[in-house]
Chains A and B, each alone.
Chain A
Amino acid sequence: MADLAKLRDAVMNGNDKGAVEAAREALAAGADPVSLVTEGVTPAMAEVGRKFECGEAFVPELLIAARATKAVFEILRPRLAQQGAQPVGRVVVGTVKGDLHDIGKNLVAAMLEGGGFEVIDLGVNVTPEKFVETAQARNAQIIGLSALLTTTMPAMKATIDAVAKASLKGKVKVMVGGAPVTQAFADEIGADGYGETAASAVGVARKLIGK
């Protein structure tokens, strides 16, 4: 299992080339692709998330760890699919309509991916309709909404309303986050979940789908 320690270290240190190399080595040595996720990437991202929560790591560290995670998934995805491995859950993420900020959303997407979720990233300035259509078409259990601007926070409520209108309320859970977003705001607009930081997204998402 020494090879997975190498993978974990590379992901934690944001060394994308090293992470891909370690993943290739582990696969060549016969490791199960699923174990590379559950015993490699997931605990590594969880550790980066823990450091982020307690102020030992900040956005740049999280972003480079996320980049390494992405690089590893590029080579793992086809193998996982081939094996019929199921993700923990499927999440549609995006920054709400009118908002072009993507740093927070990218962090959440990376944490969720690292946590074993399949993430469908719709980018920035995403309409409520687009969120709903994608969640339906891709059979997602969760929609994750991000906003940085206080002026675009009402678009979160509009998206939650659109989910209800499409009769998906309860079937598709909505989690929200972003610098100006608080638990009180999330409650007021009827969100199912709220995370104060990107690192808390995995725990919130797992709870929403009972895993």
Chain B
Amino acid sequence: MHPLFAQLTARGPAITDGAWGTQLQARGLAPGECPDVWNLTHPGAVESVARAYVEAGSDVILTNTFGANRIALGRHGLAGQAVEINRAGAAISRRAAAGRARVFASLGPSGSLVAAGEVAPDDLRAAFEEQARALADAGVDALLLETFADLDELRVALAAAKATGLPVVASLVFDSGPAKDRTMTGATPEQAARAAAEAGADAVGANCGRGIEGYIPIGPRLRAATTLPLWMKPNAGLPESIGGKTVYTTTPADFAARVPALVKAGAAFVGACCGSTPDFIRAIRRSDEFCETVCSQ
């Protein structure tokens, strides 16, 4: 195991953070507006999200750079600012962490599929190399490739991330197929774990999806295919429309109550994704069951 990951998980699972996008929206980010550019335009708001997770007890916080590759930024006319946005995002999370948490930089997919001819492989490689290097130069502790679905794209991003010398987590979203246990492009947890391990990932995992319940059976399947530490960050389920508002009905207590099952399923890093809040992290941190799971290991 990479020494940093060994250190973070030495006394049991490390707690990561919760959602960023929905938290930024609560601070005024408009639907459809690019969240990543807020690192430049609203650094105070972004830092308040990061600090809220540190204060809630996260061992690891992410950066507001999920969509900050030049292909995704290009949809907002911001491709030319990729380096600047990533550097600022890393600096904001490092400032908020202030040594109390580790900073894992978030890199999401491009949103374009190579298989469908929507993006050229060379452009994809250049975009991830640029982003990974900018984040590494800004001093983050590790790189997190999250919400990936296409194994070809994951391999390209992994090569770019590994070239920085930092440890890399590769996390995919399993939400497709009749059993909701495949990625959008059809990869199984076993295939994903093997592909990530072969491409040099230091940890593999699953994030977002359709809530924590669906990811509990994914853990053992990832575990069966790799000895690498597992990263699990499910979302707060699918939202419902209540009185015209989009509401996530999973509560912090509901989520925290299922975390021990996720840990038993093999998770070395646990956190939450879309729809979650710092209260989710606080609930996981405080949960007696979580303590027992940690202490019994």
Interface residues of A (CB under 8 A from B): 53-55, 57-61, 63-64, 67, 97-101, 103, 125, 149-155, 157, 179-180, 182, 184-185, 188-189
Contact = CB atoms under 8 A, between A and B. Distances in A.
Interface of B: 21-22, 25, 30-33, 75-76, 111, 113, 115-117, 149-150, 175-179, 182-186, 238-242, 244-246, 248, 274-275
Q: Which of A61, A154, A179 has the most CB of B within 10 A?
A: A179
Given A60-B115, A188-B241, A54 B178 contact: yes
B111 A64 contact: no
A53 B31 CA distance: 31
Contact of A157 (B30, B113, B150, B241): B241
Contact of B75 (A57, A58, A100): A100
Nearest to A161: B244
A155 B241 CA distance: 12
B246 A125 contact: no
Interface of chain B, helix or strand or loop or mixed?
A: loop
Given A63-B116, A97-B32, A150 B246 contact: yes
A157 B242 CA distance: 12
Contact of B25 (A60, A151, A157): A151
Contacts of B244: 154, 157
B31 A98 contact: yes
A42 to B, nearest CB: 21
A75 to B, nearest CB: 19
Given A151-B22, A180-B238, A58 B177 contact: yes
Interface core residue of A60, A97, A150, A153 (most chain B CB under 10 Å): A150
A4 B22 CA distance: 50
Task: Enumerate the 7 nearest inter-chain pairs by beta-carbon distance, A residue then B residue, closest first.
Answer: A98-B32, A58-B186, A98-B31, A63-B116, A60-B115, A55-B177, A188-B241
Contacts of A152: 31-32
B111 A151 contact: no
Contacts of A97: 31-32
A185 B275 CA distance: 16
Contacts of B30: 98
Given A103-B113, A180-B239, A184-B240, A150 B179 contact: no
Nearest to B177: A55
Nearest to B183: A58
A185 B76 CA distance: 29
A151 B24 CA distance: 11
Contacts of A149: 21, 31-32
A60 B113 contact: yes
Contacts of A61: 186
Contact of B185 (A59, A151, A184): A59
Contacts of B183: 58
Given A58-B176, A98-B30, A98-B31, A153 B241 contact: yes
Contacts of B31: 97-99, 149, 151-152, 154-155
A189 B240 CA distance: 10
Contacts of B182: 55, 58
A61 B241 CA distance: 32
